[in-house]
Amino acid sequence: MSLIRQIWLLVLGAVVLALVGSVGVSTHTLRDLLQTQLAVKNNDNANALALAMSQQQGDVELMSLLVSAQFDGGAYESLRWRDQQGRLVYERRAHTEPQQAPAWFVQLLPIQAAPGLAKVSNGWSAIGEVEVRSHTGYVHDALWNSLLHSTLWLVAVGLVASVMAKLVLQRLRRPVDAAVAQADALVQGRFEAQPEPDVPEMKRLGQAMNTMVARVQQMFEGQAEQLRQLHQQLLCDPLTGVTNRAQFVAELNSALHRDDAPLRGALLMARVRDLSTLNHVLGRQSVDVALQTLAQALQVYHGRVNGCLVGRLNGSDFALWLPVPDVAQETAEALSSALHTSLLPMSTSIRVALGVVELPRQRPLSAWLSAADAALAQAEQSDQGVKHVISVDVTESQQQGERAWRQHILEALSSGQHRIIEYPLLDRQGRLLHLECPMQLRLQPEGPFEPAARWLPLAVRSRLSADADLHAVQHALTASAGDGQRRGINVAPATLSEDSFLARLRALLQEHSAAATLLDMELAQAAVLLNLEAMQELSRLVRPLGVRLGVEHAGAELTRVERLYAVGLDYVKLDSSVCAGVAVDSPRAAFARSMVALLHSLDLQVYAEGVREAADAQVLWESGFDGVTGPWATAHGNTAKG
């Protein structure tokens, strides 16, 4: 039983007890008063009657008439006249019952008034005695009416007191409810401060809760800052602050395999030529400044372009990945101009070669690195201070035209030429947590179903991603309604910007309310970084319907979201660039463990993406991951089914 309910029952009990006590005391007091008045009346009437009888000079008939007249003129139970020897001379009696008071009330509160006694004389000689007893029925009626009126008044007062007590308790309850809500929010990873109440005792509680929430928030933010520092120490170049070669290659490999990445991108390699000679001529400190300047010039693009990657491949080589088509020429020229301005004034001995390639994203990582390295080698043949060479490979979408691709996608969506495929997400015991369900489209009448990586970027540019995502949700709901298995659907970040998406999604989920409790919806980390409010709105919409919400492809940048705890997430999938190779890369394993600890402190489940090796899976389990997906999980899940 809640504290407020206990206080309310205590107040109610006190009011009822006060009412009963007040009614009881007033009733008993009134009864005693009426008994006293009745006894006085009996005595006065007896004296008056005896005096009148004494004036009749012993005439028995006249004296009997006086007794009869007295009886008829008042409310008496009995009038008796006895002679000097105690023999009854004359008597009148009545048995009138109370008209209003119930029998139980009469028995509960009997009236016992003393009868009135007086001597009757004839001259100086005593000739008898009269006894007067007034009727108690009228007294009980008066007492009953008084009780009813007192009870009604006291009940009214009690109701007023109860209403006032309720208002006071509600006023006291508000800060208690606020403290409970604050504690619940803290459990869910949200740090909410509440206004301090006016009640002194409650004010101390509010101050204590706000102080605790502030300290927990400071602890979380401190942990996030430590994680960022750990990322900087373990996975970044200590001189320039950009990622090291291993991390850059892992992040680039992950970016090339994402469904929502553009069909084409650009990779730039920059090399400070003759680095060993520069160290000898200019000194190590000056060369370090030049390297830092080059890294800063590349980092400018990291801040401007979402998904941009910058890394230091070795002592003299840097790389820049731009997941944006048709920017190779512009980037190379702008970077060349910036380096001319910033590096050449340091020394004319500094020469930088830039190799830029723009390729279809489906090319393997090795092809990207080889093409960029070839462009870089060609640029090195020049004696200019800063030289860039650009290589562009035309993609199939450019050859066919984006309008034709848009038409193919639109026809596939409208004609039902789409399906979802399933990949397992497994926990440590090999149990299925959910099935990842990316959607495929058949873009040609007799052609194969194409993965999302092939058509999703163009669907985003054509504002068709919302339609595609809703079809994927429909497939997942239908399948889950059939087999009762939880399924996960990827939603493109651009879909959140579609005006009608949330309304259509709500209608779809309400139509399949039972299956909606088996649906997981996940968006890429970019949705949290760039559109936090839209993520919160989506969370407020789907979570009350039983849908879980998650973030996929999450990396170190997720810790830079200042209000990650307020998004309303259920789980996070860490990118393969964080999880891959942890069995042989202890710095990456340490960073992954720290990420898990941070996310678990926000009550989030943490899953690993792109796991290929059993050794990596074992290290991830030991690091506290709640589930893994990827080629190893797919093979392990199929083996378990077999």
Q: What residues form DSSP beta bridges with 322?
A: 266
What is the structure's pLDDT at 547? 94
pLDDT at 424: 95
Q: Give Cα 176 distance to the centre of its chain.
A: 18
State how far the alpha carbon of 422 is from the alpha carbons of 231, 327, 425, 551, in Å: 33, 35, 10, 18
Q: What is the DSSP letter of 243?
A: B
Residue 324 contacts by C-beta under 8 Å, 6 or more apart in sequence?
Answer: 262, 265, 266, 305
Domain 3-159 has CATH 3.40.1800: no
pLDDT digits (tens, 9 = 90+) for 105-124: 778 888 888 888 888 888 77
Residue 36 is predicted with a pLDDT of: 87
CA pair distance 17, 513, nearest whole angstrom: 51
The sign of the CA dihedral 326, 329, 333, 336 is positive
CA angle 67, 36, 64 (to 5 degrees): 5
Query: Is residue 250 within 8 Å of residue 429, measured between CB atoms?
Result: no
User: Can you give the residue ranges of every domain in the chain?
Assistant: 3-159, 240-399, 401-641
Q: Note the pLDDT of residue 640.
A: 47
By CB atoms closer than 10 A (0-12, 13-18, 19+), residue 87 is: exposed
- Secondary element (H or E) of residue 63: helix 60-73
Which segments of 94-199 does DSSP mark as H helices, in order?
Answer: 103-108, 137-187
Task: For the domain made up of 240-399, give the CATH fold.
Answer: Alpha-Beta Plaits (3.30.70)
State pTM to two decimals: 0.69
List the end-to-end C-alpha distance of the chain, in Å, as a whole number. 52
Strands (E), 525-617: 548-554, 571-574, 605-608
- State whether the Cα torsion 585-591-592-593 is positive or negative: positive
Strand partners, 641: none
pLDDT digits (tens, 9 = 90+) for 223-252: 777 778 887 888 889 999 999 998 999 999
- Identify the CATH assignment for 401-641 out of 3.20.20.450, 3.40.50.280, 1.10.10.10, 3.20.20.70: 3.20.20.450
Q: Provide φ and ψ at 354, rounded to 5°.
A: -125, 125
> Are 343 and 350 spatial neighbours (Cβ–Cβ below 8 Å)?
yes
Quick check: 335 and 266 in contact, CB under 8 A?
A: no
Distance CA 349, CA 343 (A): 10
Which portions of the chain are predicted below pLDDT 50?
395-399, 640-642
